[in-house]
Amino acid sequence: MKHTPTIVSLAGASVLALGLSACGSSGGTADHDRITADVVKASFQDRGIAKVDRLVQDDANRECAAADVARKPIDEKVAKAIEAAEMKTMKWPSDGKFIGDWKEGEKIAQSGRGLTWSDNEKTVNGGNCYNCHQISKEEISFGTLGPSLYNYGKLRGVTDPSAEASKAIVEYTWGKLWNSRAYNACSQMPRVGHKGILNEAQLKDVMALLLDPKSPVNR
Amino acid sequence: MKRKVVVLATLAVACAGGAQAQDATADGIAKYREMLQDGNPAELFEMKGEELWKQKRGPKNASLERCDLGKGPGVLEGAFVELPRYFKDTGRVMDMETRLIHCMETLQGFNGAEVMKTPFGRGEMANVTALATYVATQSKGMHFNLPQNTAQEKTMYEVGKRLFFMRGGPHDFSCASCHGEEGKRIRLQDLPNLTKNPGDGVGFAAWPAYRVSNAQMWGMQLRLNDCYRQQRFPEPKFGSDATIALGVYMGVNAKGAESIVPAIKR
């Protein structure tokens, strides 16, 4: 039995052959982008709930990644267009209430569960918040990829989240949670509401964690 | 075995400690490494790998001693710190694990495709990990110096860079979400910046490694597989060009970093 060709074809030699013919002549960015797309197509497989359709790039992700590859900030006009498009995805609380239970919010912020191929449809998604942010002072195991959210409401002068004076910051916070990219085109923060990571009730609980004066975040 | 349990308990205490938890954890791991200097569990895998390397096995009843890992048949020293690299005989860029499977196929007569489909830690895949640990250890203390001499290697670097920054999945994560900046962490876990040389024995230069938390030996293929799981991406196929390209990108960036294999990780 001749096994060698099996490995070669299986592992995508055709992709590399494409690359070679293209790179022999120019080897430019467009060629590399095309070869990468072919490599992505050949390299990933569905596993559990994580299907290959997750690799489909929307405009926002494509533009932000291209800027990263080029090692330069995203073009300002492109960024504005992304933010405008993302803003259109915004959904506000169906009953007009923004604030839930901070105790539940703390649990959601702690949980990093959900949406991996080792989770299933029944897994209750967490917010992954502490992975990247300091939030309450009591939890010392926090990440630093995002800014500290300790005293989030207090620092912004929120003494009563339902007061008219708090409206702007309450809405901004909801918006940032729903779709962070509406405010910052290439923000690394997941589009928590828009992508269905947390549902409306869970988002309200996280809002309470950040904005309720009784929450440990603001005490 | 007993020693491992004791040390794990030490680590657990370190992790639960107060405001200095991060330092305590790092100290705990440093102490653990020290205690294991004469008995790193990874050495068991290394020994198993050495046996597998020399043993006549497979349908052809042959050893792997003539396997060419890039520096000529049977040359182990320095091979690992130059992988992934381009191999003329297959016409592709290969990493250590895919090259080992290629040798198992051509020299020993194993079915490479079958081996690549075997789950991590099982059957011949467990043997590949042991072999990788053995081969890598023959370059212990050497510095990464991946070749970028061929068009294929250069293309794979460019592809790897694009994969590194590719955002996707429900969380919009890319490799760079966690590994694109210095001095960041997830919870208390320090994150190496893999867009440059993050230092000796850090990032790409820290694998294959024995993982204390689950008592498993992990090669780069499993390391990448689990990164993609946490990234909420679909699964990268074992030995796929995406995994090889990322290896080239991280390995070339890590030029000069000392390999501390076999390493111990949390």
- The pLDDT score that the predictor gives to residue B21 is 54
Q: How many domains does chain A have?
A: 2
Is residue A1's pLDDT more than 90?
A: no
User: What ipTM does this complex have?
Assistant: 0.89
Indicate yes or no: CB of B171 within 8 angstroms of CB of A27: no
In tens, the pLDDT along B86-137 reads 999 999 999 999 999 999 999 999 999 999 999 999 999 999 999 999 999 9
Alpha carbon of B184: minimum distance to chain A alpha carbons (Å): 5
pTM equals 0.89
Query: Are A208 and A100 members of one domain?
Result: yes
Is residue A18's pLDDT more than 70?
A: no
Query: Are B232 and B163 members of one domain?
Result: yes
Query: Are B155 and B245 members of one domain?
Result: yes
Is residue A10's pLDDT more than 90?
A: no
- The pLDDT score that the predictor gives to residue B6 is 39
DSSP 8-state code for residue A164: G
Distance CA B192, CA B204 (A): 9
Distance CA B188, CA B170 (A): 24
Half-sphere exposure of B158 (CA within 13 A, CB side): 22
> Which residues on chain A are in Cβ contact (under 8 Å) with B170?
54, 115, 190, 195-197
Average pLDDT, chain B: 90
Average pLDDT, chain A: 91
Domain assignment present for B145? no
> Which residues on chain A are in Cβ contact (under 8 Å) with B109?
1, 3
Which tops the pLDDT comparison, B2 or B29? B29
Is residue A11's pLDDT more than 90?
A: no
- The pLDDT score that the predictor gives to residue B27 is 75
Query: What's the mean pLDDT in B219-226?
Result: 97
Query: Are A11 and A24 members of one domain?
Result: yes
Distance CA B159, CA B77 (A): 28
Is residue A126's pLDDT more than 70?
A: yes
Instruction: Give the chain B residue whose CA is nearest to the CA of A1.
Output: B109
- The pLDDT score that the predictor gives to residue B36 is 63
Q: How many domains does chain B have?
A: 3
Residue from A14, A68, A192 whose CB has the most chain B CBs within 10 Å, to mutate: A68
Within chain B, residue ranges assigned H as helices are 2-16, 21-35, 42-54, 96-106, 112-117, 123-137, 151-165, 175-179, 220-230, 241-253
Within chain A, residue ranges assigned H as helices are 4-10, 13-25, 29-43, 59-69, 76-87, 102-110, 129-132, 152-155, 167-178, 200-211
- The pLDDT score that the predictor gives to residue B126 is 97
- Asked which of B103, B137, B171 is the last residue of a domain, the reply is B137
- The CATH number of residue B182's host domain is 1.10.760.10
Query: Are A1 and A87 members of one domain?
Result: no
- The pLDDT score that the predictor gives to residue A69 is 96
- Asked which of B91, B109, B137 is the last residue of a domain, the reply is B137
In tens, the pLDDT along B9-54 reads 334 333 344 445 556 667 776 776 676 666 688 899 999 999 999 9
Q: Which residues of B233-246 are buried (b: 16+ CB within 10 A; e: fewer)?
A: bbbbbbbbbbbbbb
- The pLDDT score that the predictor gives to residue B246 is 98
In chain A, positions 54-93, which contact chain B (CB-CB < 8 Å)? 54-57, 61, 64-65, 68-69
Contact B103, B110 (CB under 8 A): no
Query: Are B46 and B31 members of one domain?
Result: no
Q: Which of A27, A40, A131 is closest, CB to CB, to B186?
A: A131
Contact B175, B164 (CB under 8 A): yes
Domain assignment present for B129? yes
Contact B259, B208 (CB under 8 A): no
In tens, the pLDDT along B47-87 reads 999 999 999 999 999 999 999 999 999 999 999 999 999 99
In tens, the pLDDT along A178-209 reads 999 999 999 999 999 999 999 999 999 999 99
Is B67 marked active-site? no
Instruction: Give the chain A residue whose CA is nearest to the CA of B98.
Output: A7
- The pLDDT score that the predictor gives to residue B29 is 66
Query: Are A121 and A218 members of one domain?
Result: yes
Domain that holds residue A173: 47-219
Is residue B266's pLDDT more than 80?
A: no
| DSSP β-ladder status, B216-218 and B209-211 | antiparallel
- The pLDDT score that the predictor gives to residue B212 is 85
Number of other residues whose CB lies within 10 A of the CB of residue B57: 20
Which has the minimum average pLDDT: A98-102, A203-207, B1-5? B1-5
